[in-house]
Amino acid sequence: MIYTKSSFYVGVIAVVLLMSNFINSSKNEANDTRINPLIHSQADSLDYFADNGFGKPVQSIQHPMGEYFKGVTYVAYQGPHEDPYVCSYNHQTKEWKGPFKAGISALGKTPLSTDPDEIDNHGRPALLVDGEGYIHLIFGGHGGHRGLGANTLGTMGRGEQMHVVSKSPYDISEWEQLRNVSPLGTYSQWVKMSNGTIYLFYRHGSHRSNWVYQKSTDNARTFAAPVSILKYKKAEGHAFTSDSWYAWFQEGANNSIVSTFNYHLCGTGENHTSLRLNSYYMKMNTETDTWESIMGKKLDMPLTKESADELVQIYDSKGKSVRLGTIRSDSKGNPHLYFRNNANISYANWESDKWNFNEVLGQKFKFEEADILIANTNEIRFLTSSIMNNTAEIAWWQADENGKNWTKETPLVTSKNGKYVMSSLIRNAHPDARVIVAEIPNTPMAVDSKMYLIGDHGPVKRFGF
């Protein structure tokens, strides 16, 4: 680049403006919705679409974090102070919009956004585009702080589950809050059915709380009261210990919702660990809002630990650690799911009358996150974030023979500078934009990360503004 005198002065002015902007944003950051744009020139072509990912900006349990709707992919992530940020990408014009701050989270405000010990990460946004094109986010909840009143379905936690919606359809620049769901939720998950009915699933409080859903038939403008489906209670045979759950929900075939979940024996004080056990599966018929086992046995809700073990447990981990994965249903209604099983990744699928279990990644891969894509009943693909030989990568794994053998494809993106965390698959995804990924730098105490939108051809580029 050749510097001229005028370009030098433009540069100086730009730096001064940026500095004053920085000072202002430090002062008013908490309630200012203006965002500094990425600093790059018109000629740049960036692999990332934003550089203000914060903490662990994306994960699969708050989901979906993105949706493809009428030619545009909308994505959300956790930004500075754990506030929710939104960008959009038009696949035809290749134009990016955002990031826009869509609301102010009750989490992540004290004392400093740069202190990793204070990062809660529970308030990550889940995104939904309703039938009229309005964009919705749910975010900021970790069970609800005590100022929100009593929790009749569990115990209080932190933060506040908040629901915001774009002021106009297809426009992510302005947002307003809707106070129409319980503020006591965490692990918020949207399930938008093909018929337009919207279910919001979440845990209604901290560990010792029921999992519930709220249902809307008017594009998330009003919701029915929470309905409990997984019950917390005193654990049988354990003093001062409770039954607790982690769950994941997704639309299945034929107007159903499928769920995979695992169990947490929630101890008190020094007896508390993060250990989670076993794997379970159940299905909801949304025509009757009733739940059943894989064998079609009706379930009494909310489900207790004893009933879950008897009727819907698919894997007994025998006291060993299991971590929740995701679930998808194929066109015949057969579920496919995965879970972390110690160091391995177990893939389970239902075939005729039994569950098949197979391992996906070999031991040489350090696993971070994954989701399952079912292109049709014969093609099962697994999009993973993992680390091998100190190189982080996002890659597809392809199954043959019902998941007995898995082959890794050429990675879509790799990094030696950081690790990748990824969202679940974007809803209704365009093949060019399957997943949202944050690259968390390897540097100690790093809290800011670059955000990528990655599809079958690698990252979606962002050109100059």
Residues in contact with Zn ion by the rule CB under 5 A: 207, 266
What helix, strand, coil percent values describe the chain, rounded to 5?
10, 50, 40
Nearer to Zn ion, 204 or 207 (CB): 207
Q: Report which residue's Cβ sits closest to Zn ion.
A: 266
Output the smallest distance, CB 182 to Zn ion, in A: 20
CA distance 362 to 85: 35
Q: DSSP states of 203-218 as a string?
A: ESSSSSB-EEEEEESS
Q: DSSP states of 432-449 as a string?
A: T--EEEEEEESSTT--EE
Output the smallest distance, CB 263 to Zn ion, in A: 11
Q: Tell me if residue 187 is catalytic.
A: yes
Nearer to Zn ion, 266 or 447 (CB): 266
Q: Tell me if residue 213 is catalytic.
A: no
CB 52 within 8 A of CB 447: no
Nearer to Zn ion, 242 or 423 (CB): 242
Output the smallest distance, CB 234 to Zn ion, in A: 13
Pick the catalytic residue: 77, 187, 232, 347?
187
Output the smallest distance, CB 275 to Zn ion, in A: 9
Strand residues in 252-334 grouped as ranges (E): 256-266, 276-285, 290-292, 313-315, 322-329
Residue 346, CB-side half-sphere exposure with 13 Å CA sphere? 20
Report helix, strand or coil for 306.
helix
Pick the catalytic residue: 63, 122, 142, 264?
122
Output the smallest distance, CB 51 to Zn ion, in A: 35
Nearer to Zn ion, 207 or 336 (CB): 207
CA distance 156 to 429: 36
Nearer to Zn ion, 234 or 457 (CB): 234
CB 56 within 8 A of CB 72: no
The set of catalytic residues is: 122, 187
